[in-house]
Amino acid sequence: MARIGHLGYACRRRGSVNSSIIDVPKPILRINAGFVELEPDPIPAEWILDGDPQARANKLVTSRDWSSTVVVWDCTPGLFKWRYGKDETVHFLSGEAFMIADDGGEHRFGAGDIAFFPAGTACTWRVTEQIRKVAVVRETMWRPLGFVLKVSKKVLRGKQWQLNADRPLDE
């Protein structure tokens, strides 16, 4: 049974995605996103401006540090507001939708398109043909903390490189 997660996307246990998971080495998850089973993931009623858009989703995997998730999402035609609470990188698999930015500019998205929506982005979506996408949703990080994390990783990589360089070649 799916549950609604903290992202607002329906969540399923990994084993319940059934035949859409393709056999690959354990640390890799390969999924045929076109055939993933989705569960209802309603758009808040106050966000709907026209029509009756029905959204469905399935959260497929979460990173070990819980900062990123991979989600398959689809939606039937309609017009609705949307606010991105986290950074989201998407690859549209099928359908057609138009994003209307706050400044009134309209952008078309369809199969094969890739887009990035930073956290805080507010827009209106006009879905003209049922749309399906795969999204990588990432927690945003306070910029100074992100800088410290990046520097610390470089320092640790440098120390690891230095330790490896100090070892004899015949090991």
What distance in Å separates the CA atoms of residue 6 and residue 59, rounded to the nearest whole number? Answer: 11
- What pLDDT does residue 141 have? 76
- Is the distance from CB of 76 to CB of 56 less than 8 angstroms? no
What distance in Å separates the CA atoms of residue 102 and residue 104, rounded to the nearest whole number? Answer: 5
H/E segment holding residue 32: none
* pLDDT block averages, 10 residues each, the chain of length 171: 40 42 58 84 97 96 88 97 96 97 94 96 97 94 77 75 58 52
The token pair at 53 is: 């858009």
- Is the distance from CB of 66 to CB of 107 less than 8 angstroms? no
**Residue 24, CA atoms < 13 Å, CB-side half-sphere:** 9
